Structure 1
Amino acid sequence: MMPEINVLYVDDEQQNLNSFKAAFRTRYRVFTAVSVAAAMDILDREEIHVLISDQRMPEITGVEFFKMTKEQYPHIPRVLLTGYTDIEVLAEAVNQGDIYRYITKPWDELELHNSVLNAYDHYKANRDLREKISELQKANDGLNRFVYSLSHELRAPIASATGILDLVKMEGKMDDSGEYWKLMDACIQKLDYYVSQTVQFYKTARFKVAQEQIHFEELVRSLIDLYRTSNGTKGIRFDVSVEEAHVFYGDVFRIEIVLANLLSNAIKCQRSGEPDKKVVVRIVTADDGARITVADNGTGMDTAETEKIFDPFFKGAQPGGLGLGLYILREALEKLNGTVTVDSRKGEGTVFEIYIPSNPENKG
């Protein structure tokens, strides 16, 4: 049994519409329209599987009609009937996806029938694909919410364990049990870092971009102060220069993620034997956006590593970490329409160049 196929045929000549309906009314559910307005009314009311139009109509050409309907009804295959050969128009329409197929008039009934069947198969395949994508999106959203909730719930026991260790440190008992307290402290810090990265990734992927005025000097200084509270910055010199001659508007949440991950990466990549460890930060705002440079004289990377650093879970030769920092940075930049380039030399250091466009018209 053939499936019920809804076909809409648009033509300014009523005789052609009648001929089409007479030929195919037993094969499909046929809708006809003598004008664009009538066709749009049918498209609004009915689920059309295949759209057919004559090319030469008084108010609009068939290709122009297809272009008009493409944006609102992109999933409907469009078949053009043309009584004359206009190769340039047809080639452009095919290349731009405005038509699925064209057939010359007078049409061959078998050719037109096969074209409708093929177009319907195309419509059905696209519909099935959209349904699968929707199902996968729902499953992915559910998984993301679960991971976020789990990570969020882990924060409480981590905070409790950290509090206990802080008491042990305050009472000077870290060395009472050999290396056990220190080992526990290191494990809890690593777990806290993993959880923080997971939450950060979720927020970067899901939260909407919000525009507000950004104060880079204040933002960078606060992040550096935060990192200085850990032992990882001991002996590192921070050289910061910020020129904010132009007001910059952007998403402070994602810009902070970008800067935090750049600084974290520069700190982790320091060489233990380097006598002058340094991280150089340069930020300049202009009319069009902000340019950020973060450089270090650390371990550096070879070309093979540089090509993979933005891949999720790629750790390279650096110890520790989850391998998500630079991946999250790139995800955040995509939301900001920003770009990143990296120049690195093994044993010499790494330079990250970031560009983020300003967006004052969308400020909150």
Structure 2
Amino acid sequence: MTPEINVLYVDDEQQNLNSFKAAFRTRYRIFTALSVTAALDILDRDEIHVLISDQRMPEITGVEFFKITKERYPHIPRVLLTGYTDIEVLAEAVNQGDIYRYITKPWDDLELHNSVLNAYDHYKANKELREKIAELQKTNDGLNRFVYSLSHELRAPIASATGILDLVKMEGRMDDSGDYWKLMDACIQKLDYYVSQTVQFYKTARFKVEHERIRFEALVRSLLDLYSTSNGTRDISFNVQVNEEVPFYGDVFRIEIVIANLLSNAIKCQRPEEPDKKISIGIRTRTAGAAITVTDNGTGMDTEYVQKIFDPFFKGAQPGGLGLGLYILKEALEKLNGTVTVESEKGKGSVFEISIPNNPEK
């Protein structure tokens, strides 16, 4: 049976190569080379698992040879055999990763054998790691393509269907076919929301945090303008108080996600029977950070739900929702090193308090 480990031993003395072959020929598949040129030819041609070299050779030293092989074949562990002790050279070679281990000559067979086995285990572990990384990269590429399809290819037919429904509404024909048009409208809105939440979660988890000047007043107003076009905000009064005492710097993408999900949650939790629906947004910036508070007089929730609402796909407080909004909010806050606290009472409403550190320009 051919030994599993391929070992290349480089030495300018044939006697040393013969001794190595005699000692280990039954344990490894052995390759030998009398010169650096011959060794590089073997490395180009065969898969070598462990590389062994003598330190003193007429062309270059073993350490210098290992520097070359480290650049060309970085994943092969290198074992140096030396007949003399040059601590400075060896220490530098070890620290720079040029050699995996060094052994003094004449070598001890057991010590050298154990070193080869350890080096081979190191080679296998690195190879498995590279394969796992390649698999992860392949999976990541597939995920990128999937999210691209969600945000572009799937959004296109949703936009077309929404446009058709808008024409039906403009022509006042929503009641022509009973509730069919309304059911279709509700389904399309829900599908668009699911797609938006999925893409939002992906971007929150993947995008790099970027710091820039945040103007909360304009940000909140733009979000309220966006939500004002939806049917769910028609009977809700919004009270906005923004006090930007000092300039605030943060990741505008994730901060917008945080505020948008707070507003969306407050809107969805309104009670239909409440005659005076209210949502209050308070923001104050200081040198240390920004404090954001969103208060509503909606459905509220039992204490048992407060600790679970940030779990993915938890729908206890909003049975009709996807259960991702507050989870995405928490993920975004973690990227910002922010915190969130919740106070809620069933039938009376909820208060969400957010704290986000300020990251001023250096």
> For 1:149 and 1:201, how far apart are their aligned partners in 2?
15
Equivalent pair of 2:277/2:298 in contact (CA under 8 Å) = yes
Q: Deviations over 1:84-129 (max 9, x none)?
A: xxxxxxxxxxxxxxxxxxxxxx997525633541453244134313
**TM-fit CA distance, 1:216:** 0.6
Matched, 1:47 2:74: yes
> For 1:244 and 1:183, how far apart are their aligned partners in 2?
44
> For 1:230 and 1:117, how far apart are their aligned partners in 2?
67
Which residue of 1 is the match for residue 51 of structure 2? Answer: 29
Q: How does 1:320-331 map to 2 (within 5 A)?
A: 320-331=320-331
Which residue of 2 is the match for residue 164 of structure 1? Answer: 164
> For 1:343 and 1:61, how far apart are their aligned partners in 2?
60
**TM-fit CA distance, 1:59:** 4.4
> For 1:357 and 1:165, how far apart are their aligned partners in 2?
43
Equivalent pair of 1:212/1:252 in contact (CA under 8 Å) = yes
> For 2:336 and 2:107, how far apart are their aligned partners in 1?
49
> For 1:278 and 1:33, how far apart are their aligned partners in 2?
80
**TM-fit CA distance, 1:318:** 0.8
> For 2:119 and 2:327, how far apart are their aligned partners in 1?
41
Q: How does 1:217-296 map to 2 (within 5 A)?
A: 217-296=217-296
Q: How does 1:334-349 map to 2 (within 5 A)?
A: 334=334, 336-347=335-346, 348-349=348-349
Q: How does 1:108-257 map to 2 (within 5 A)?
A: 109-110=109-110, 113-257=113-257
RMSD: 4.0
Equivalent pair of 2:284/2:292 in contact (CA under 8 Å) = yes
Moved more, 223-232 or 200-209: 200-209
Q: TM-score, normalised by structure 2?
A: 0.71
**TM-fit CA distance, 1:269:** 1.8
> For 2:297 and 2:101, how far apart are their aligned partners in 1?
62
Extract unaligned runs of 5+ from structure 2: 11-15, 29-49
Change (3 A) 1:322 1:59: same
> For 2:246 and 2:62, how far apart are their aligned partners in 1?
51
**TM-fit CA distance, 1:227:** 1.3
Describe the SS at the equivalent of 1:341.
strand
**TM-fit CA distance, 1:45:** 4.6
**TM-fit CA distance, 1:147:** 3.6
> For 1:309 and 1:107, how far apart are their aligned partners in 2?
65
> For 1:204 and 1:252, how far apart are their aligned partners in 2?
12
Change (3 A) 1:319 1:3: same
Change (3 A) 1:80 1:195: same
Equivalent pair of 1:36/1:65 in contact (CA under 8 Å) = no
Which residue of 2 is the match for residue 98 of structure 1? Answer: none
Equivalent pair of 2:51/2:77 in contact (CA under 8 Å) = no
**TM-fit CA distance, 1:257:** 1.5
Change (3 A) 1:193 1:48: closer
Q: Which has the larger radius of gyration?
A: 2
What is the aligned residue count? 322
> For 1:36 and 1:342, how far apart are their aligned partners in 2?
62
Give the partner amino acid of 1:2.
E
**TM-fit CA distance, 1:218:** 0.7
Which residue of 1 is the match for residue 6 of structure 2? Answer: 4
**TM-fit CA distance, 1:217:** 0.8
Equivalent pair of 1:283/1:293 in contact (CA under 8 Å) = yes
Give the partner amino acid of 1:316.
G
Q: TM-score, normalised by structure 1?
A: 0.71
**TM-fit CA distance, 1:32:** 5.6
Extract unaligned runs of 5+ from structure 1: 9-18, 82-105
> For 2:172 and 2:291, how far apart are their aligned partners in 1?
46
Which residue of 1 is the match for residue 38 of structure 2? Answer: none
Which residue of 1 is the match for residue 13 of structure 2? Answer: none
> For 1:172 and 1:134, how far apart are their aligned partners in 2?
56
Q: How does 1:58-69 map to 2 (within 5 A)?
A: 59=88, 69=97
Describe the SS at the equivalent of 1:278.
strand
Equivalent pair of 2:340/2:355 in contact (CA under 8 Å) = no
Q: Quote the sequence identity (%).
A: 64
Which residue of 2 is the match for residue 91 of structure 1? Answer: none
Give the partner amino acid of 2:341.
V
Describe the SS at the equivalent of 2:6.
coil
Change (3 A) 1:219 1:67: farther
**TM-fit CA distance, 1:22:** 7.4
> For 2:95 and 2:289, how far apart are their aligned partners in 1?
35
Describe the SS at the equivalent of 2:249.
strand
> For 1:349 and 1:130, how far apart are their aligned partners in 2?
52
> For 2:299 and 2:209, how far apart are their aligned partners in 1?
34
Equivalent pair of 1:7/1:50 in contact (CA under 8 Å) = no
**TM-fit CA distance, 1:61:** 9.2
Q: Deviations over 1:242-298 (max 9, x none)?
A: 221222223322221221111111211223344543323222223343232323333
